[in-house]
Amino acid sequence: MSTTPDLNRRSVLRRAAAVGLLATPAASLLAACAGGTDDKDADKGATSADNPFGVKEGSTVNVVVFNGGLGDEYPKFDKTLFNAKHPKVTVNLSSTQKIKTEQQPKFATTPADLINNSGADNMANDALIKDGALADLEDLLAAGSWEDAAVKVKDTLLPGTVTDGTQQGKFYILNYAFTVFGVWYNQALFDKNGWTVPKTFDEFFTLSDKIKAAGIAPFTFAGFYPYYGRWAINAWIWLAGGEQAFIDIDNLKEGAWKTPEVTAALQAVEKLASKTGGYTLKGSETLTHTQSQQAFLDGKAAFLPVGTWLENEMKATIPADFKLKIAPFWSVSGSDKAPYGSVQAGAGEGWIVPAKAPNKEGGKEFLRAMLSKEGAGKFASLTASLASRAGSGDAVTDKPSLESANAVMKAAPGKLISWKYDGWYASYDKASQAGIGEFLAGRITAAQFADRMEAAAKAVVKEIADGKAVKQTRTAA
């Protein structure tokens, strides 16, 4: 999705979890941020239906955008919407791919008012929240929407957006991009060869013989950034084990990674990643996100598991005759607990307001503009990705991949595929990525990967007992 990819291409988001953990010096900076709500904020202006947070005239709002696969054009449009209502407020927009490097040191003094905390160099939200460095956004949810003050912002959001942005019982993160994940393929290639998109792993392995005979690798992935592989692996775990699999994993239940259902999913992935099977494009474990995406577009691989940022990120190099389509992750077996077509989708691209921001009111108001029908629609048009504002893609008819994703969403049965552990616990995320990198490279077995994840869960339990992490609990949706 970017030259420095967005960790919250989950899920979605959810949304979001950081590649680099907070080191001791950084943690010290965050500790200095605690209690930021006592800092001297900008004086508030008068509140009204068009100014629910009391943004003061003459004030300045500093907004930092992650310039990744979704680009940095869409906030420029939101700035015009903001200034139409607040012409006497200055909005300073800046963009970067080094969010943590550039923004974290400022948290102890004067941070930006609104930050798109995304990309590989993002800040760990759980650590920020634990240290009181973020303002909660409950008042944003309760505010009237941009177009109609009688309709609250929270009532305009897609399912999962509030849940995914909530930690420790409060809403801290507005995940703005609603991403649909699945397996991408070239419909033109499939039509030419008479291939049918598989619905099960068995069908995939059977089709793979035909794909390989055509001189094409069946599958590729972005091994250089292991969290890209997490989307596929976790989707297959959900399909095999249903929601309960991740209720147990997220709740750090002992043995959660070794149930028969999870084992079945991991063994299927082990076969997919096997060096002797020839199912994955050679060297995929070394490819960046854009390299793997380009290999797919160049016809070197038939399937690629990523999200709906694909078209926007690669628009300059998509061949004219390429018919880009997305399908749900195929089922593991006939014993799956969740039906084929279950969709992994959710809000990602997290936006945060620092507790010490001098103009928190302006930061929240900018988010309200982003969540307007017009702002969200412009985002969908520019990026070929849905926004977390409901209906953002309704008027977009010139983005084939977005239309394909909408079709997958409309056909989806049951609950959306989701998990929490990587966003809740930074050390769990780090261990997961390290394990996935080895697993998809074919250097460890399914059983060894499960052992690693069990050990990572136990380590988090100890962190909680030692007061180094905050226990979170998942229940059935």
Q: What is the pLDDT of residues 379-428, one digit of tens each?
A: 998 988 889 998 888 877 777 788 888 788 888 898 899 999 998 999 99
275: phi then psi, degrees, rounded to nearest 5? -65, -30
Torsion sign over Cα 406, 149, 477, 122: positive
Q: What is the 3-state secondary structure (H, E, C) of 184-204?
A: EEEHHHHHHHCCCCCCEHHHH
Residue 180 φ/ψ, nearest 5 degrees: -105, 130
Cα 459 from Cα 462, distance rounded (Å) = 5
- Pick from 206, 48, 214, 26: which is nearest to 133 by CA? 26
Residues 230, 241, single domain; the answer is: yes
Which residue in this structure is represented by tokens 């307001």?
353
| 476: Cβ contacts below 8 Å, ≥ 6 apart | 243, 244, 247
Q: Quick check: helix, strand or coil at residue 267?
A: helix
Q: For residue 153, tell me if it sits in a domain.
A: yes
Residues 226-236: pLDDT tens digits? 999 999 999 99
Percent of the chain with pLDDT over 90: 75
Q: Is residue 241 part of a domain?
A: yes
Same domain, 29 and 169: yes
Number of domains in the chain: 2
Domain end position, chosen among 367, 387, 416: 416
Identify the pLDDT of residue 105.
94
Instruction: Tell me if 152 sits within 8 A of 139, measured CB to CB.
Output: no
Cα angle 458, 422, 354 (rounded to 5 degrees) comes to 120
φ, ψ of residue 109 to 5 degrees: the values are -125, -90
Q: What is the pLDDT of residue 126?
A: 87
Please report the pLDDT score of residue 331 as a whole number.
98
Length of the chain: 477
pLDDT digits (tens, 9 = 90+) for 10-56: 333 333 333 222 333 333 334 334 444 444 444 688 999 999 999 99
Considering the domain architecture, whether residues 350 and 335 belong to the same structural domain is answered as no
The per-residue pLDDT for range 69-101, each reduced to its tens digit, is: 788 999 999 999 999 999 999 999 999 999 999
Q: Domain for residue 256, yes or no?
A: yes
Tokens encoding 253: 């239940």
Asked, for residue 457, whether it belongs to a domain, the answer is no
Q: Looking up tokens 């609104």, which residue turns up?
A: 114
Domain-terminating residue out of 300, 324, 342: 342
Instruction: Map tokens 């070239």 to a residue.
Output: 186
375 domain-assigned: yes
Q: Please name the amino acid found at residue 413.
A: P
Residue 341 is encoded by which pair of tokens?
A: 């077509």
pLDDT at 361 over 90: yes
Cα separations (Å) of 295 from 218, 225, 304? 12, 16, 9
Let me know whether 192 and 323 are in one domain: yes
Is residue 437 classed as helix, strand or coil in its secondary structure?
A: helix
Of the candidates 153, 162, 2, which has an alpha carbon nearest to the alpha carbon of residue 69?
2
What mean pLDDT is reported for the chain? 89
Same domain, residue pair 245 and 338: yes
Are 360 and 315 in the same domain? no
CA distances from 176 to 47, 215, 282 (A): 25, 40, 35
Confidence of residue 1 (pLDDT cuts 50, 70, 90): very low
> What distance in Å separates the CA atoms of residue 399 and residue 401, rounded to the nearest whole number?
6
pLDDT for 396: 79
CATH number for the domain spanning 315: value is 3.40.190.10
- A 10 A CB-CB count for 441 gives 17
For residues 121 and 230, membership in a common domain is answered with no
Check residue 38 and give its pLDDT.
41
Q: Are 72 and 170 within 8 A, CB to CB? A: no
Residue 358 neighbours by CB distance under 10 Å: 20
Q: Same domain, yes or no, for 55 and 103?
A: yes
Per DSSP, 328 falls in state: P
Examine residue 10 and state whether it is found in any structural domain, yes or no: no
Cα(102)–Cα(113) distance, integer angstroms:
14
- The pLDDT assigned to 84 comes to 97
Q: CA-based diameter of the chain, in Å?
A: 70
- Do 189 and 313 belong together in one domain? yes
Number of alpha carbons in the 13 Å side-chain half-sphere of residue 2: 24
Tokens for 370?
A: 């982003």
Tell me the pLDDT band of 168, cut-offs 50, 70 and 90: confident
Last residue of a domain, one of 382, 416, 450: 416
d(CA 92, CA 96): 14
For residue 81, tell me if it sits in a domain. yes
Give the pLDDT confidence score for residue 31 in this predicted structure: 39
SS3 of 161, please?
Answer: helix
Could you tell me if 236 and 372 lie in one domain?
no
Q: What are the backbone angles phi and psi of residue 395, rounded to the nearest 5°?
A: -100, 5
For residue 298, what are the CA distances in angstroms to 216, 301, 304, 317, 441?
Answer: 10, 8, 12, 9, 22
pLDDT of residue 456: 98
**Residue 364 and residue 303 share a domain:** no
At residue 383, the pLDDT reads: 87
The candidate with the shortest Cα–Cα distance to 231, out of 5, 442, 459, is: 5
Which ranges constitute the DSSP H helices of 89-226?
A: 99-103, 125-130, 138-142, 161-164, 187-193, 201-213
> Tokens for 224?
């250089």
Tell me, yes or no, if the pTM score tops 0.85.
Answer: no
| Domain contains 3 | no
State how far the Cα of 295 lies from the Cα of 338, in Å rounded to an integer: 31
Alpha-carbon span 407 to 193, nearest angstrom: 23
Do 152 and 250 fall within a single domain? no
Structural domain for 211, as ranges? 182-342
Q: What distances in angstroms separate CA 350 from CA 76, 133, 211, 311, 353, one per listed residue?
A: 18, 15, 38, 20, 10
